[in-house]
Amino acid sequence: MGKPDFDAVVVGSGPNGLAAAIALQQEGLSVLIIEGKNEIGGGLRSAELTLPGFVHDVCSAIHPLAIGSPFFNTLPLQDYGLFYTFPDLAAAHPFDDGTAAVLGSSIEETARLLGDDEQAYLKLLKPLVKDWPDIAADVLGPLHFPKHPIAMAKFGLNALTSATFLAKRFKTKAARGLWAGMAAHSIQPLSNLTTSAIGLVLMAAAHLKGWPIPVGGSKEIANALSSYFIALGGKIETGRYIKSLDELPSSRTVLFDVTPKQLLQIAGHKFSSIYKWQLERYRYGMGVFKVDWALDEAIPFTAKEARRAGTVHIGNTLEEITLSEKLSWQGKHADKPFVLLAQQSLFDTSRAPEGKHTAWAYCHVPNGSVTDMTETIEKQIERFAPGFRDRILAKHTMNTAQVEAYNPNYIGGDINGGVIDLGQIFTRPALRSSPYRTSAKGLYLCSSSTPPGGGVHGMCGYHAAKCALKDVFSITI
């Protein structure tokens, strides 16, 4: 046999595919990224979806896990044009009475504003914020014995609980509502075990490095990663959607930034019956319905705090958010859904013409739903920002089918690469010694369908590359 065309091929250029390719290329290997779309980035893309001059993030928007990523933090991405801007407040959570709870950079100030729950908040978050630098790499990785077992055990005791259980630590409407909005990022019923994990991680991230916005759009993260990869000697090919292994150039290993559904289509015939059986039973979670707006003015939130936040959680009380997430999980559409909203143009003037603004929002819906939730979402925003609709110049919507068409990894609109509940948090996508190895020699999975799951952090790709380096090239990093 002749020499292969490349040492490694990475299929898909989302944050995990880019991270995997960089980690491989850093070891002096020849690496090719193949991207099905004409533009790299996966969930890291931005475009003028509404009107000329209005730049919208098509998928992900706010990036606490990107700036806090143990792998991305080792890369010189500023040298390749990536800069962040930091909102005054990471997040705000308005209530019907015109008040709002806030998540700020100061843990003490955030706690103080929660009144009677000040000490409860400090007791919950202060130890985690202190321990996070030590445990971040272990939390954002596969199941293994941690470097700091005591700190990890303290985190796990809270993280593995349900959000509704942990909410019992708080007495006030403000603290309970703020917590519910954070935990709702888990995209499953708040009564499920492990739903506390994402809420705790996001809150700790805010107090450590904030919830930043990439200047110019989320695409700038992908652009910086790809530019660095190319500077190392890597190659990228776009507009080539891979449907079978026969379409790939020869290589010693292939890493797939895809979910189990696509992996089965591409390489299912190579897998053992038990591995194939496990992938076929992999479960996807709720989808999203997304709206982007071009606005004549900023959103007129009644609560002044919400006008200073990059992210606004719209859902009122813990009870209301719990109900809306439960309904979506059960295949129903909530009349008052939890809405995750970002207002990037308040802090990044490159997003809209002078004096104008953009807004980005989605709500959770049943997987595969094509119900138009535009009116429902706008009604929820108007509830906390009377006059919002009067400021709309144009809008762009995406249902779950359109979200999946845009990014095939978002099966049925699931932006997490599969539900991250107790049944799949440790066995993504299958129960194996390494979640990144498939049953076929030389083939690896590096997408958010592996640990630690969804989010722009690149850690799934990094760990998959680390596994491939050891198995195929006898390189340990």
Contact 362, 290 (CB under 8 A): yes
- pLDDT at position 447: 98
What stretch(es) of the chain map to CATH 3.90.660.50? 84-213+286-406
What stretch(es) of the chain map to CATH 3.50.50.60? 6-47+55-82+214-283+417-473
* Cα distance between the two ends of the chain: 29
The SS3 call for residue 235 is: strand
Q: Which of 38, 79, 84 is nearest to 61 (CA)?
A: 84
| Bridge partners, residue 340, by sequence | 313, 362
Beta strands per DSSP E along 122-177: none
- pLDDT at position 92: 98
Scanning the structure block, which residue is given the tokens 């944050």?
15
Judging by beta carbons within 10 Å of its beta carbon (0-12, 13-18, 19+), is residue 355 exposed, middle or buried? exposed
- pLDDT at position 1: 59
CATH architecture under which domain 84-213+286-406 falls: Alpha-Beta Complex (3.90)
Scanning the structure block, which residue is given the tokens 């979402």?
377
| Bridge partners, residue 91, by sequence | 103, 311
Contact 255, 8 (CB under 8 A): yes
- DSSP at 296: S
Contact 125, 114 (CB under 8 A): no
Residue 248: Cβ within 10 Å count: 18
Quick one: tokens of 66?
Answer: 């990107």
Scanning the structure block, which residue is given the tokens 């909203």?
341
CA distance 93 to 202: 14
Quick one: tokens of 252?
Answer: 């010693």
Contact 33, 234 (CB under 8 A): yes
Contact 191, 164 (CB under 8 A): yes
- pLDDT at position 459: 98
- pLDDT at position 292: 98
The H-or-E segment that residue 89 falls in is strand 89-94
CATH architecture under which domain 6-47+55-82+214-283+417-473 falls: 3-Layer(bba) Sandwich (3.50)
Quick one: tokens of 217?
Answer: 């759009």
- pLDDT at position 71: 98
Per-block mean pLDDT, blocks of 10 residues, the chain (477 long): 91 98 98 98 97 98 96 98 98 98 97 98 98 96 94 97 98 98 98 98 97 98 98 98 98 98 98 98 98 98 98 98 98 98 98 98 98 98 98 98 98 97 92 96 98 97 98 97
- pLDDT at position 426: 86
Contact 42, 12 (CB under 8 A): yes
CA distance 297 to 287: 30
Residue 337: phi, psi to the nearest 5?
A: -75, 155
- pTM, rounded to two decimals: 0.97
Instruction: Please name the residue ranges forming H helices in 184-330.
Output: 195-208, 219-231, 260-267, 273-280, 318-329
Which distant-in-sequence residues (6+ apart) come within 8 Å of 378 by Cβ? 291, 388, 389, 392
Q: Which of 401, 455, 420, 25 is nearest to 226 (CA)?
A: 25
- DSSP at 37: S
The SS3 call for residue 368 is: coil
Residue 277: Cβ within 10 Å count: 11
CA distance 428 to 449: 6
Q: Which of 344, 343, 110 is nearest to 206 (CA)?
A: 110
- Distances, alpha carbon 2 to alpha carbons 245, 251, 252, in Å: 18, 11, 12
